[in-house]
Amino acid sequence: MARPILAISLFCIMMMLCACQKIYNIYVIKGEWEVVSVEINGGSTNMLETFLPYYYYKNNCCSYKIYFDDDGTAKAEYHTFDTLNYEMLGEWELKDDKHIYMHLDEYVDGIFEIEIVNANEMNMYAEENLIKAYNIGMAGLIIRARRN
């Protein structure tokens, strides 16, 4: 009699730990993230400087932010100084504790592997991301972001 109860108890504990991990990751990802760089196919060029007019990260004039909301919606914004130049609504879904699906705009549409660098930084990598802009098509994409 004790063995089935022990097995059921262990199963319940394992399920709770898995659920806690997913809740933790949703908490970590949710909120406002500033995209620091976007790299295509393993290149070292920050494509934000190519894709976004007047973008230059180092002089603090520009920011590209992604807001991950509770309900699975995401919003991308591009600011230069105090001016909102671009806003796009999209969606996101945490697939498991290491993968997120994102569809934001012409540049981001794929399943990304999440690497939490620390509490304020994360990298997201997709082997196959659909970039509709400039007819680029499927490409590897790395998004490096930090929490504000």
* Tens of pLDDT, residues 90-138: 999 988 878 999 999 889 999 999 998 988 999 999 999 999 988 999 9
Contact assessment for residue 80 and residue 51, using Cβ atoms and an 8 Å cutoff:
no
Contact assessment for residue 129 and residue 39, using Cβ atoms and an 8 Å cutoff:
no
Beta-ladder partners of 70 = none
DSSP structure class, residue 48? H
In angstroms, the CA 56 to CA 70 distance is 31
Closest CA to 81 of 48, 59, 104, 105: 59
Q: Which residue type, as a one-letter code, is found at position 63?
A: S
* Tens of pLDDT, residues 44-101: 899 988 888 888 766 678 889 999 998 899 999 999 888 999 899 999 998 887 899 9
Task: Enter the pTM of the model.
Answer: 0.80
Interior angle at CA 98, CA 66 and CA 12, nearest 5: 120
